[in-house]
Amino acid sequence: IYHVDCKDARVATRDGRRGRLASHLAWADPRRGWDFVSTGRGDVPWEECFRALNHIGYDGPISIEWEDAGMDRLHGAPESLAYIRSLNAITPPAAAFDAAFSSE
């Protein structure tokens, strides 16, 4: 992995009135079956993603591709950045969890 791009979307098909995609409708139209939202407010399991990146020792670039037609960018973009920074700060422990209980 050379680069990680964070972009989020929310799927909204739960009411039976929306199709899976409905992407022919305009962004932010409530009849759409999905739409882009601020990173951290959608359906992407970001914590799982960052834990997996930590597991493989990824230390490359991370970018946020912000698109949310329902939120002002001056609010949403900094919020997304803070969210991703908080997840990127999660680091694996230096020793195994149960090493603290060692009898040595």
Please tell me the predicted confidence (pLDDT) of residue 17: 63
Count the domains in the chain: 1
- Residue 74 within a domain: yes
46-55 and 73-88 are packed helices; what angle lies between their axes, rounded to 10 degrees? 40
- Domain with 43, as residue range(s), is 4-8+35-92
Q: Report pTM.
A: 0.78
- Residue 71 within a domain: yes
Please tell me the predicted confidence (pLDDT) of residue 19: 57
Instruction: Yes or no: say if 8 and 42 are a contact pair by the CB < 8 Å rule.
Output: yes
- Residue 46 within a domain: yes
- Residue 25 within a domain: no
- Residue 19 within a domain: no
Please tell me the predicted confidence (pLDDT) of residue 31: 77
**Mean pLDDT score across all residues of the chain:** 86
